[in-house]
């Protein structure tokens, strides 16, 4: 395992994918537009204008192009994937009462929760319209399955909140559902429209799944050791919301009596006082947990790359390997 530190900036995106992504941006703009309701457009301009890595649509585009696909269907599916993702973000921000998203005020904060709930629904519906226009029932099945899995995992995460006896397995179930399900659906539908064999589609699906798990583990780590300005959202959100993620789950497993009392106060009793986040971070560092979590994330990234072994080897495959590296080496 090589802990490469390729950053997103140095990522070499093949021209064909750059061109595809530009077209996807146009589709996102055109297909999210509401002729009837200006507020929807204002909210979506704010959300889509705030950037975002477009990681998931990139996966759909890559999977299709990797297989030599020359058509256009993958563009609509890539946009549909980003719509599903954005819908879940908008609803997540309501659920978590987030104030920041992608370095800007969250939509629920700028408008209100009601607007965010309904605009999220609008995006879900628009995503399915896009899928329909891609004319692939098999892709629709994959993406509607993923959407159901995401919602299930989000409820599970809610149920697990403030329960400090959550295991690593339970954590994995949540992140597989809330994150990896859409990553793997994104690669799968790219493979499907790209005309892949069942075996290739399975390998692409597994690639997305492993990548998504690594990505989310890194995301959860960054919530402790990242910086707000890089991350575009607040550091310590999970800590403040009582959301048990891998760093804390590992820390609780190793905790001495004093630490146990600390974690219990924060995560079960919901009592957080000044200096607690710093204290948590100090424990994570002292006990080597930051490194342990990073190592786990890298392992998933490596596992993802292994799934590419029998797929065609071209510039897109190289790009996907780089993407797997970047997804766990990123700072935001």
Cα–Cα distances in angstroms (integers) from residue 13 to residues 20, 194, 323, in the given order: 11, 19, 9
Minimal distance, residue 38 CB to a second copy, in Å: 8
Residue environment code for 103-121, b if the CB has 16+ CB neighbours within 10 A, otherwise e: ebebbbbebeeebbeebbe
Integer Rg of the chain from CA: 20
Residue environment code for 157-170, b if the CB has 16+ CB neighbours within 10 A, otherwise e: beebebebebeeeb
**Which residue lies nearer to a second copy by CB, 121 or 310?**
121
**Which residue lies nearer to a second copy by CB, 122 or 319?**
122
**Which residue lies nearer to a second copy by CB, 31 or 104?**
31
Residue 191, φ and ψ in degrees, nearest 5: -65, -40
Chain centroid, CA 234 distance in Å? 16
Binding site for a second copy (CB under 8 A): 34, 36-40, 87-88, 91, 94-95, 113-115, 117-122, 124-126, 128-129, 131-132, 135, 137, 140-141, 144-145, 147-148, 150-156, 158-159, 173, 177
**Which residue lies nearer to a second copy by CB, 67 or 174?**
174
Minimal distance, residue 307 CB to a second copy, in Å: 24
Minimal distance, residue 184 CB to a second copy, in Å: 16
Cβ atoms of residues 53 and 331 within 8 Å? no
What is the rounded CA–CA span in Å between residue 64 and residue 149? Answer: 23
Minimal distance, residue 39 CB to a second copy, in Å: 5
Minimal distance, residue 118 CB to a second copy, in Å: 5
């Amino acid at each position: 395992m090589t802990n490469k530190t390729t950053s997103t900036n140095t990522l070499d995106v093949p021209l064909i994918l750059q061109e595809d992504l530009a077209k996807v941006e146009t589709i996102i703009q055109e297909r999210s537009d509401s002729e009837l309701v200006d507020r929807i457009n204002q909210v979506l301009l704010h959300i889509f204008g705030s950037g975002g890595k477009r990681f998931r649509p990139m996966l759909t585009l890559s999977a299709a192009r990797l297989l030599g696909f020359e058509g256009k269907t993958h563009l609509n599916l890539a946009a549909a994937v980003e719509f599903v993702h954005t819908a879940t973000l908008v609803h997540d921000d309501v659920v978590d009462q987030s104030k920041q998203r992608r370095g800007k005020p969250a939509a629920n904060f700028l408008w209100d929760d009601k607007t965010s709930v309904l605009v999220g629904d609008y995006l879900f519906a628009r995503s399915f319209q896009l899928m329909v226009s891609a004319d692939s029932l098999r892709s629709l099945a994959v993406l509607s399955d993923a959407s159901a899995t995401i919602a299930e995992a989000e409820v599970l995460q809610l149920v697990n909140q403030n329960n400090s006896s959550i295991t690593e397995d339970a954590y994995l179930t949540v992140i597989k559902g809330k994150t990896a399900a859409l990553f793997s659906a994104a690669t799968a539908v790219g493979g499907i429209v790209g005309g892949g064999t069942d075996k290739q589609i399975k390998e692409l699906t597994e690639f997305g799944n492993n990548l998504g798990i690594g990505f989310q583990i890194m995301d959860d780590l960054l919530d402790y050791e990242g910086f707000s300005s890089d991350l575009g959202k607040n550091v310590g959100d999970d800590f403040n919301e009582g959301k048990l993620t891998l760093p804390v789950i590992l820390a609780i497993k190793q905790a001495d009596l004093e630490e146990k009392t600390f974690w219990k106060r924060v995560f079960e009793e919901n009592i957080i006082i000044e200096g607690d986040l710093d204290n948590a971070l100090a424990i994570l560092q002292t006990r080597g947990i930051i490194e342990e979590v990073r190592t786990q994330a890298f392992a998933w990234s490596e596992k993802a790359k292994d799934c590419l072994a029998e797929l065609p080897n071209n510039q897109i495959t190289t790009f996907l390997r780089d993407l797997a590296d970047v997804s766990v080496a990123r700072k935001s």
